[in-house]
Structure 1
């Protein structure tokens, strides 16, 4: 989950250190230094795969995680919806952003916080996301964010843990807040020796023709609600949502996800001379493969040999891939006239090559919120082993016969002012650069 310009350093450390037995304690001084970053927003100074969105970009991004909803894929169809044209799927912000100009983190704070929690195991445990505005062809997104909170916890098993919430705000070229994500980043003292290799006895899933046919039956029954409104009044607590299948997960799926736009630009990954230049920029991100060739640490998501060398039985997906799947589940169900207001998700288990995930859910609440009829959904991805790998909750706004069409939610006035100020500063600096 790439959100900020220096995130690759943290992820590189996490991926490369897994090959060693690090047992570093969390230092009090690191906690105090981290607190210097509280409330300090900085512009996201990277270009994502898409800097400006097109109808083709929307279609390709959706297809990359298996979503063929015509609202995203067919401009002619989308022109007849309330949106007047195609809009991007909710998770587009993981692959779309243009470098935002602005004032960097002050040098004294940057220097004081360099190397935080070095050698300590870190992982992303989940994310909260709120959506406020659609993204259309021709739109550009910019980002800013920083540390929103830091909390210390302790347990007998994991030892001392630090939970950081990293807020990332996406705004469009009109300074409108489009989405806000809050990534849950955990640093823990749990020893690698306790964790490394715990999945190594896991065997890759295999399937009979009959088992593939059962999965295909779910695919055959799937499909977006589309133009038929799902009215708030017709939904009741206890309603069960249809099943959705994802998988069995293959290397082809991973290739498609990357070609749709995720994960290449922030890491600087590229072939030939592009790759060479990136290797000079970020040498720690490159680790020799069995043939002695420097290759990216990120390849644990597609190379079984590398993943096995650091204690996993085979390659596995990205958490954000499953987040895309979870939002896909909701956008199919709610129809063209609905709006995904917020989602909370957690990545509890790996999704390995060969695994299949079946997404199921049910309505657990309904009420009026900000003038909209909204429903609360609890849902989850469950593997063929019967393990819940990604539990989630969400709030969906639906059109109402009584209340009318969905009204888009609004960010807080404070956040909108911040977005306007950050955009104004960007435009000021961009104008100065152009001169």
Structure 2
């Protein structure tokens, strides 16, 4: 870094505006209030960019994740599959939402939530998905959610942090549970993150033409199982799932992910009058940049100076980007007739601009349960520094000679009843 750039960065880090931006702390009161919120479910009133699945937004979301599987992208191909048409990548359920009507939030819950963890950083550090139905074009997705867990930790990089699991139950217009999405969030103190600079020694990756050619060779060998059945009987414990490349990561990748439908409402990047209204509504989410312009705190995914101001050497991806890369890897392997039923992942390291991920997996075990032929697999993402950045395990139902078309599992009774009650209340209140 040149002397002028070093001086500019120092000016940013020492400015009053940026010092205030990194001076939020997690309090005992925050933690106590968060724990009192556990178990409260609320109809999600968020109006995401996509509320109804269509052939276009399914294809656009898949492409925004780098996924060209024809089951999601080619209607003519998909018509010939067991599904009779396109279906969405399973994790797309996380970015489709139409407001769900429900009873008013009690005053005591509102009081607990007011300014809770104000101004702290929120990192998605992993998730767990359970899938129960596909999403077809024409499906409207609603959801209700609530926090399930709250754990306090201390770390060198983030100082005091709170690890919380939120459960999002995703329903279609018939009140059927499509999937359950449990999001592991880590809330950290900005001031500690900015001071420690634990990752400051990491240098941006650079590549020669030969390096890019090696990555391209991996892309060229990637296979989509597609219509060719991968039978349970032909899979062996310890078998490798193959290798896929993801990256090198660029700002363009993040833009494509947003363009594909990742809204992150109500914190989504907005423009003009919409941005003005959002700044008035949630001022703590906006921090002035080096030009004095208020901008979203989440710009650490594309603004290197802001990423550096909070203790990272450069901008980095959204964790959910890698989670969707993971889903592509699994669905490419199992084929059109296989079903990804369960995924649990842990985000282990940051994926910085310029980093490339090599995705590999292996079969851990085979088992038969409730008439289903199930395969348990492990998947890892490793970057060019030979660091594991994502670790995951998944359960996949494969076709077998006795059961050529595996089915999704039944929704647990208690969950199905809760979903039916939430959806019935939505309809009672005039929801469509």
**TM-score of the pair, normalised by structure 2:** 0.90
For 1:189 and 1:256, how far apart are their aligned partners in 2?
Answer: 29
Give secondary structure in 1 for the equivalent of 2:333.
Answer: helix
DSSP-derived class of the 2:166 partner: strand
Tell me how far apart the structure 1 counterparts of residues 277 and 356 of structure 2 sit (CA, whole Å): 37
Alignment deviations for residues 110-139 of structure 1 (CA, whole Å, 9 cap, x no partner) = 213434455766543211111110000001
1:370 has 2:370 as partner: yes
1:345-393 deviations in Å (ceiling 9; x for gaps)? 1111111110000000100011012321010111111100000001111
C-alpha distance in 1 between matches for 2:340 and 2:353: 29
Instruction: Within 5 Å, give how 1:53-132 maps onto structure 2.
Output: 53-117=53-117, 123-132=123-132
Which blocks of at least 5 consecutive residues in structure 2 are unaligned? 1-17
SS in 2 for 1:430: coil
What is the alpha-carbon distance in structure 2 between the residues aligned to residue 147 and residue 378 of structure 1? Answer: 27
Structure 2 residue matching 1:93: 3-state secondary structure: helix
- Contact residue 100 and residue 426 of structure 2 kept, 8 A: yes
* RMSD (CA atoms): 2.4
Distance in 1 of aligned mates of 2:270 and 2:113: 30
2: CA distance, partners of 1:276 / 1:112: 27
Which secondary structure does the structure 1 equivalent of 2:57 belong to? helix
Please name the residue that 2:395 is paired with.
395
1:296 positional shift: 1.4
Could you say which residue in structure 2 is the equivalent of 1:261? 261
TM-score by length of 1: 0.89
Residues of 2 paired with 1:343 and 1:252: CA distance?
Answer: 27
Give the Cα–Cα distance (whole angstroms) in 2 for the partners of residues 114 and 289 of structure 1.
Answer: 26
CA deviations 1:286-334 (Å, max 9, x no partner) are 2222222222111111111221222211111000000000111001000
Structure 2 equivalent of residue 348 of structure 1: 348
How far apart are residue 48 of structure 1 and its match?
A: 1.0
SS of the residue aligned with 2:363? Answer: strand
- Looking at structure 1, the residues matched to 373 and 320 of structure 2 have their Cα atoms a distance apart, in angstroms, of 28
Tell me how far 1:77 sits from its aligned partner: 0.4
Contact 1:268 1:278 in 2 (8 A): no
Pairwise mapping of residues 149-228 of structure 1 onto structure 2 (< 5 A)? 149-151=149-151, 162-187=162-187, 192=192, 196-228=196-228
| Correspondence for 1:20 | 22
Deviates more, 1:279-288 or 1:293-302: 279-288
Contact 1:157-1:190 at 8 Å conserved across structures: no
CA 88–299 in structure 1, closer or farther in 2 if over 3 Å, else same: same
Instruction: Determine the C-alpha separation between the residues in 2 that align with 1:155 and 1:266.
Output: 29
Secondary structure in structure 2 of the residue aligned to 1:216: helix
Q: Residue 103 of structure 1: SS of its match in structure 2?
A: coil
Q: Which residue in 2 is equivalent to 1:239?
A: 239
**CA distance in structure 2 between the partners assigned to 1:158 and 1:353 by the alignment:** 21
